[in-house]
Amino acid sequence: MDIINFSNLESQVLNLFNQGKKTFDSINESSSIAEKTLTSVLEGLISKNIFKLNINTCEYEYQTKVNGEIFICDGNLLLPTTIIKLKDKILVTRGEWYEFPVDFDIRRIIWNVKLESKSNSTLVDLIRTSVLKEKKSKIVQLLEYENLCNKIVPYSPTIGLLIHCVGESVTDISIIFKIKINKIADISSEHRGFTVRSEISTEELIAVLKKPIVERNYINDIKINQIHNFSDFIFSKNEIPVSLINNELTFIKITGIKKLFELTYFKMDILGNVKKLDIETFDDSNEAIDKLRDIFKGLPSLILSENDFMSEMTE
């Protein structure tokens, strides 16, 4: 028995390729993947002998010709694609199981992905509105909106949008995930160090801020990126929650990356007091990343899920 796995990012790229997106730019324009990550995904597919790059046309191609017509299967965007090759058949799943003859070319599959979410957002909404990607040029701050810099938009009870720079078309922000320490006798505190960098539409931001406060509905009026990669959260000074037990939040702060990879442990109590616990250093940054990856599968992933966010763990 052979088992083949494609991450949900690889599955997304393969899906777009099967839909006729053959160049880097066309895949980039249609995907929800940041450019740097997309480059890694495509390089990974080449290393797996799935793709090759035609230097003359600048188009990606399958290593060998696909045998048969396109076949559409229902799947789940949150899940990877798993292929199990048995002696007499092939089993394929991305949330639902499909059985094919042993000679079936799995590259024929186009996934009709559906998003199971507590929100009313559709996959089309997410892909279209959450693809406010890294821009090739630096955002230039508009003078008339300098007063908005370093302000936090109260997007929802559990999410804040910290404004860094308001450009003509897009605004550079950090999405803040607010973690409440359990409330006892009207005493509570809130951790705001778990963040991810992103961008929103300047037009949508200004339009909602011009409304009277009682009429503002940030969730409906400002579209935010709900699809991120694990690597998007790994940057200096970010605070990764580890556990929330007995009204105390333990979190790790990334305090060093360049020379030695350094993680500092802290504990925050219900009054908002923060106590430094320990420092852990790593000569091998891969060990630190593996440790953070394991931690991320716990409380951080739960927090993201509760806010209808998705995180790809392979990057």
Per-residue pLDDT of the chain (315 residues; tens, 9 = 90+): 677 778 878 888 888 888 889 999 888 887 767 777 888 888 888 888 889 998 888 899 998 888 888 788 887 766 778 899 888 899 998 878 899 998 888 888 887 765 444 444 444 444 444 444 444 447 888 999 999 999 999 999 999 999 999 998 889 999 999 999 876 656 678 999 999 988 899 999 999 999 999 999 999 999 888 878 787 888 888 999 999 988 899 999 988 776 678 899 999 998 889 999 999 988 777 788 888 888 998 899 899 988 888 776 554
- Say if 127 falls within a structural domain: no
Same domain for 105 and 240? Answer: no
Which contacts of 261-264 are long-range, i.e. CB under 8 A and separated by 24 or more positions? 261/285, 261/287, 261/288, 261/289, 263/288, 263/291, 263/292
Same domain for 69 and 170? Answer: no
Same domain for 59 and 180? Answer: no
For residues 234 and 226, give the distance between their C-alpha atoms in angstroms, rounded to a whole number. 17
- Spatial contact of 107 and 81, defined as CB atoms under 8 Å apart: no
Three-state DSSP state, 133: coil
- Say if 135 falls within a structural domain: no
- Say if 182 falls within a structural domain: yes
Same domain for 180 and 306? Answer: yes
CATH number of domain containing 42: 1.10.10
Single residue among 95, 114, 133 that ends a domain in this structure:
114
Same domain for 156 and 95? Answer: no
- Say if 292 falls within a structural domain: yes
Same domain for 64 and 175? Answer: no
Same domain for 229 and 110? Answer: no
* Model pLDDT, residue 259: 66
Same domain for 109 and 158? Answer: no
Single residue among 114, 129, 153 that ends a domain in this structure:
114
First to last CA, the chain: 27
Residue in the structure block whose two tokens are 């350094």: 262
* Model pLDDT, residue 183: 62
- Say if 291 falls within a structural domain: yes
For residues 99 and 36, give the distance between their C-alpha atoms in angstroms, rounded to a whole number. 35
- Spatial contact of 29 and 13, defined as CB atoms under 8 Å apart: no
- Say if 124 falls within a structural domain: no
What is the residue range of 152's domain?
Answer: 143-312
* Model pLDDT, residue 19: 83
- Say if 122 falls within a structural domain: no
